[in-house]
Structure 1
Amino acid sequence: MTTGFFTADWEPALSLEIRGPDGAQSFDAVIDTGYNGALTLPPDWIDALGLPQSGEESVSLADGRVTVVPMEAEGLVFNDRDGEPIRASRVTTRFKDMARKADLDERIHFHSLRHTTGSWLSMRGVPMRHIQAILGHSDRNVTEKYSHLAPETLNRAMEETFGE
């Protein structure tokens, strides 16, 4: 792993260990699309985080999949077992536990997935303004902080341009 984001070779480790009860890859949407203004968790993650489900609503996602979102009378979309808003520390703690079980670098954290999204998109040549829109940044300078370039990507670009 390179500091700040996952390299492509770490995806199988994440995918293998961080799966829901149905075997579906749990962080697929986060890794592939980043955060774009709304956090949608698959139903197995709602269970994994211990969120109450007193009411549910099916929501169609842009890619055609359907997910179930808990709906609470108090108006909280995601809350803990006591009906309180979920604290970032809870998500962080659960993510760290799962990363440890997957034997991943201890420096990773949930926010690393945003860095990963920006980095992978950048390494694939996606224009910066598109990455900015995907990540929901209002300032391009913020996006550039997320868009790390791995040394092998830079080496490949030099070889493609100038030969070996």
Structure 2
Amino acid sequence: MHGFVNQRCEAILRIAVGHADAPKQIVEAVIDTGFTGFLSLPPSTITSLGLPWYFRDIGTLGDGSEVVFDMHKATVIWDGKPQIIDVAASEADPLIGMSLLYGFKLHVDVTTGGTVTIAAIN
């Protein structure tokens, strides 16, 4: 899987996400190694995709504060295969977390326009 580094020095990956067998939407998400979940999306995107609500979870932000997240189920295409994951509703930009990256290696050429490569660990 390949992405890019944007002008804000963020590693970006385009990911196809949707509900079960429904059509997928391509979302540009920031890779966040400090986020232990799978994926976060804005509530408006979750609504437009029709992602079902699953449960509420408490998360700790980078500043140490705790917040409650509504969690939803989604299907993403990851490494060419559909995978069912948890999605946290958040007003922030979409984020890819470490749970989605688990079992993969991440390489980032940290320069504007640099390449982001994610490959399975053999």
Fold shared, TM-score > 0.5 on shorter chain: no
* Structure exhibiting the larger radius of gyration computed from Cα positions: 1
Normalized against structure 2, the TM-score is what? 0.37
Give 1 or 2: higher helix fraction.
1
